[in-house]
Amino acid sequence: MAGQAYKQWSVVTSSTVAFTVCFMVWMMFAVIGIPIKQTLGLNETQFGILVAMPVLTGSLIRLPLGMWTDRYGGRIVFFILMLSTVFPIWLISRATEYWHFLVTGLFVGVAGGSFTVGIAYCARWFPRHRQGLAMGIFGVGNTGAAVTKLVAPTIVVAYGWAMVPKVYAALMLMTAVLFWFFSFTDEQHTAGASQVTVKEQLMALKDPTVWRYSQYYSIVFGGYVALSLWMTKYYISEYGFDIQLAALLAAGFSIPGGLLRAIGGWISDKHGAHTVTWWVLWVGLVCLFFLSYPQTDFTIHTVSGPRSFHVGLNPTVFTVIMFTMGIAFAIGKASVFKYISDDYPHNIGVVSGVVGLAGGMGGFILPIMFGALVDLTGVRSSAFMLMFGIVWVSLMWMYFTEVRPLSAEQSRRHPEPTHFT
């Protein structure tokens, strides 16, 4: 009979692999959406809607999935979720009209809800002081976005875009079967163990703290998803690269955004969710400040005549800044869920569902807004301008609700000594 330690790590490993495949599928339109856009003659806003459509379903379903995970256990919910996406994934290869892709994208988007299931499933196998690491390791599955950027362009070039959903459907089916054989059910997590009613679970929606964590997550996860969907197209439009090189460079943001999440969990366990999240948002703000500046040509009239200058990020500097922001977002995704495991240990599923829903909605809304802003302004870096404003607002919210109260509490407990003269 397998020991508890073996079961713990087998659950984390199988869940992480399954989540990686689910994320690959969820991000599929980031690559195949580009030839589809060319074939259908879509504008930037329509492209934004296309790539974001799976994110909508994956976001909205997170809350009920979190509730079902609390009640029925993560293993069975995760398994059924993966099986339910196999046929819709394959059906994408048969689509010919714009609405076909939108409808199939909605069904495929269910794969994005796997995060809420897996994060609660893995966390409950570990003691509280190790939950940050466990959730961080599971979050490495976000690298599925990078895997899609590395694998899908090669398939597109060799066999056409329609082959990608066919391959992914087969991969999802195989992953679901392997997950079932290598994961375990803890009787304490299954039906009957959780006596929390649906009404009690939904009370989390009235908690302002949950909404604050949702705002943080809409940046570090929602922004990560949105940029993962948008970057391949951005490299092609901004720098004129082909789809393979563009996807490879875009993976420079996606890889750290997922791979380093485990490190973010460890750091959050050690230094606390508040401190880590605060600095993550500041790093993101600085990166977005530089990314927001558009390619600019200007002329100065000097005493020796007019002189022209060009200001803008070249591909190398742009990729380095995106890589840095990917690291920050990876750590931030782990630190936000460390908040949840600390504050809501008995209701992780539903709270992570609410927070995950907010993050996913950020990943749905932002690509559409990116496209609309490009169509409206003609400035490609307007996407980063929008995100800069969102991060700034979140920093102010965090300052007034967490930083100042903590400083006031510390001053009350440790007042400065009075000096008499």
| In the chain, domain spans | 4-178+196-298+309-408
Q: What is the pLDDT of residues 158-204, one digit of tens each?
A: 999 999 999 999 999 999 999 999 988 866 655 444 555 556 556 76
35-49, 94-108, 244-258, 367-381: range with lowest mean pLDDT = 244-258
Please provide the average confidence, as pLDDT, over all residues in the chain: 86
Tell me which of 345 and 365 has the higher pLDDT: 365
> What are the structure tokens assigned to 169, written together?
């459907």
**Distance in angstroms between the alpha carbons of the first and the last residue of the chain:** 75
Tell me which of 104 and 67 has the higher pLDDT: 104
- Cα–Cα distances (Å) from 228 to 235, 246, 256, in that order, read 12, 12, 12
Which fold does the domain 4-178+196-298+309-408 belong to in CATH? Growth Hormone; Chain: A; (1.20.1250)
- How far apart are alpha carbons 65 and 105 in whole angstroms? 19
What pLDDT was estimated at residue 312? 84
Section 152-163 average pLDDT: 94
- How far apart are alpha carbons 221 and 226 in whole angstroms? 8
Q: What is the pLDDT of residues 276-285, one digit of tens each?
A: 999 999 999 9
Is the pLDDT at 221 greater than 90? The verdict is no
What pLDDT was estimated at residue 421? 47
Q: What is the pLDDT of residues 2-50, one digit of tens each?
A: 677 788 889 899 999 999 999 999 999 999 999 999 999 999 999 999 9
Do the Cβ atoms of 24 and 119 come closer than 8 Å? no
Which long-range contacts link 209-215 to residues 24+ away (Cβ below 8 Å)?
Answer: 209/343, 210/351, 210/354, 210/355, 211/358, 212/397, 212/398, 212/401, 213/336, 213/339, 213/340, 213/355, 214/354, 214/355, 214/357, 214/358, 214/359, 215/358, 215/394, 215/397
Q: Using 50, 70 and 90 to split pLDDT, how confident is the model at 255? A: confident
- Judge residue 343's burial from the number of C-beta atoms within 10 Å of its C-beta, 0-12 exposed, 13-18 middle, 19 or more buried: middle
Section 312-328 average pLDDT: 92
User: What CA dihedral angle connects 303, 308, 311 and 312, to 10 degrees?
Assistant: 180
> H helices then E strands: how many in the chain?
20, 2
Q: What are phi and psi of 214, to 5 degrees?
A: -65, -40
96-105, 375-384, 407-416: range with lowest mean pLDDT = 407-416
Secondary structure letter of residue 419 according to DSSP: P
